[in-house]
Amino acid sequence: MLNGNYVRKSAEIKNHGQKLRGVYIHIPFCKRRCNYCGFYSNTDTSLIKGYTQALMEEFENKKRQYADFFKAKEATLFIGGGNPALLSLKDLEKILKTIYSSDLAFDEITIEANPDSLGEEKISSYKNLGINRISLGIQSFDDSVLNLLGRNHSSLQALKSLEIVKKHFDNFSVDIIGGIYGEFRNSKVKRDISHDLKFLAKFSPPHISFYLLSIEEGSFFFNKFVIDEAKQAEEYNIFCEFARDKGYTHYEVSNFAKKGYECKHNKIYWEGGEFIGLGPSAVSFLKENKGIKNGWGIRLKNVSDIKEYIKNVNLTEMEYLDRQSAFCEAVFLPLRTSEGLNLSMLKLKFPEETEKIYGVLENLKKAGFVEQKKGQWIIPEKHFIIGNEIVAKILKGAGL
């Protein structure tokens, strides 16, 4: 059995303190698909063996192809899904051993898990595998909500798993889905968040991801559930207030953390950092590797179908960002965070475009839709919920 020592300590790395880079592993297996989920997943767990093999093959390929990325640097690892807890400890160990064999020094290693697949043994083993953060897919403490969402666990399982996780891990997160208001199959749906808030207050997880229910194409809810956006907005405010009251920082549209517990891996996405994604439908983003001529970065997306993936792990779509797309991302991603957008940094890369958006920013500032704090432009928390509208206005201002 592996133990924590396998993971390189960041102190061993020479260029300590540089920008983090992320590795994401997608585990596309679920016992059942939730009603709101539009992502690719597979309920046929007999494919796990072949999948594990393929994943390791992909890792070796990527390591060769993007060697620069895998040089000794500080990094994060995130094992997401699907439900990664469906992997046996043996398979997980195999995968991790391979990943750890690179020169990257993993600082934060997260695994997502659903409450119904977690026992005490598994959780403590995770620790031995070097995992230091657990993201628990609670979604709700209310059985009627879990039922409506098509989740595979009960509120009791949620509570139990949370207790065990809390016992073994200092750093963990829970996912909560809120804003369950609207119409589903011609009847009104109204699920108050207050019940969940009581439990959150009791367990006081260091990190919460709070998502308003959204209806995704390809999900069961699609074309069946009509969301009441006004009620969602109300509940979002209620949650923000709760989180503030309990000492959380609202550091991204849907993410709340106690001091020092922000998710480092996810921050890489919002800061425009580089990451490698492994597994079906996983996405990578690379900027400065050998063989990448494009100055604005490339994004790779693996084939979604798991059988296709096992057959050929190199089935990848490639998107070359152009200047306009890169600018768009450089604006909207940081504006999702409480850190906000640094105009001087933006101007270094996009001088003309930045020049053009000053006017809109000033106007939006006058109306209170953006604020300026020490050179950072931010969307204030109360307007996170209309962030798209604000960003679209800014982008329009750039005349692109």
Partner 1 sequence: MDKNLVRNFSIIAHIDHGKSTLADRLLEFTGALTEREMQDQFLDKMDLERERGITIKAQSVRLKYKADDGIDYVLNLIDTPGHVDFSYEVSRSLSACEGAILVVDATQGVEAQTLANVYLALENNLEIIPVINKIDLPSAEPERVKKEIEEIIGLPAEDALLISAKEGIGIKELLEEIVKKVPPPSGSVDAPLKALIFDSWYDSYQGVVTLIRVIDGTIKKGMKILFMAVNKVFEVEKLGVFSPFPVEVNELSVGEVGFLITGMKDIKDCRVGDTITGTERKTETPFPGFKIMKPMVFCGLYPTVNDDFEELRDALMKLSLNDSSFVYEPETSLALGFGFRCGFLGLLHMEIIQERLEREYHLDLITTAPTVKYKITLSNGDIIWVDNPNKFPESQHIDKIEEPYIKAHIHTPEAYLGNILTLCQEKRGIQRDIKYITKDRIVVEYELPLNEIVLDFYDRLKSVSKGYASLDYEFLDYKPSDLIKLNILVNGEPVDALSIIVHKDKAYYRGRELVSKLRQLIPKQLFEVVIQAGIGNKIIARESIAPLKKNVLAKCYGGDITRKRKLLEKQKEGKKRMKQVGNVEIPQSAFLAMLKVES
Of the pair 195, 301, the CB lying nearest partner 1 is at: 301
Among residues 282, 306, 361, 370, which is the contact residue for partner 1, using CB under 8 A? Answer: 282
163, 159, 87, 100: which is closest to 126 by C-alpha?
Answer: 87
| Piece in contact with partner 1 (CB under 8 A), picked from 66-74, 93-101, 114-122, 392-400 | 392-400
Among residues 6, 211, 220, 296, which is the contact residue for partner 1, using CB under 8 A? Answer: 211
* In the complex, least distance from residue 399 CB atom to partner 1, rounded to whole angstroms: 9
Among residues 57, 143, 271, 319, which is the contact residue for partner 1, using CB under 8 A? Answer: 319
**Cα separation of 159 and 141, whole Å?**
8
Among residues 12, 60, 121, 229, which is the contact residue for partner 1, using CB under 8 A? Answer: 229
**Cα separation of 62 and 55, whole Å?**
11
| Helix and strand counts by DSSP (H, E) for the chain | 13, 18
Q: How many chain residues are in contact with partner 1, going by CB under 8 A?
A: 48
**Which residues from 350-369 bind partner 1, rule CB under 8 A?**
363, 367, 369
DSSP conformation class of 69: G
* In the complex, least distance from residue 236 CB atom to partner 1, rounded to whole angstroms: 8
Residue 387 is a binding residue for partner 1 (CB under 8 A): yes
Helix (H) or strand (E) holding 391: helix 387-397
For residue 147, what are the β-bridge partners? none
* In the complex, least distance from residue 1 CB atom to partner 1, rounded to whole angstroms: 30
Among residues 212, 240, 306, 313, which is the contact residue for partner 1, using CB under 8 A? Answer: 212
User: What is the contact mask toward partner 1 in residues 98 to 127, using x (rule: CB under 8 A)?
Assistant: ------------------------------
Among residues 65, 98, 325, 372, which is the contact residue for partner 1, using CB under 8 A? Answer: 325
Residue 86 is a binding residue for partner 1 (CB under 8 A): no
- Amino acid (one-letter) located at 95: I
**Cα separation of 133 and 173, whole Å?**
8
**Cα separation of 309 and 58, whole Å?**
10
**Cα separation of 278 and 59, whole Å?**
7
* In the complex, least distance from residue 133 CB atom to partner 1, rounded to whole angstroms: 15
CA-to-CA dists, residue 306 to 62, 111, 268, 288, 363, angstroms: 18, 20, 26, 29, 48
Of the pair 21, 164, the CB lying nearest partner 1 is at: 21
| Angle 151-243-256 from CA coordinates, rounded to 5° | 70
Residue 194 backbone class (left: φ over 0; alpha: ψ -120 to 50; beta: rest): alpha
Residue 253 is a binding residue for partner 1 (CB under 8 A): yes
For partner 1, the binding residues (CB under 8 A) are 22, 24, 211-214, 229-230, 232-233, 236, 253-254, 266, 269-270, 275, 277, 281-285, 299, 301, 319, 325, 328-329, 332-333, 336, 363, 367, 369, 384-393, 395-396, 400
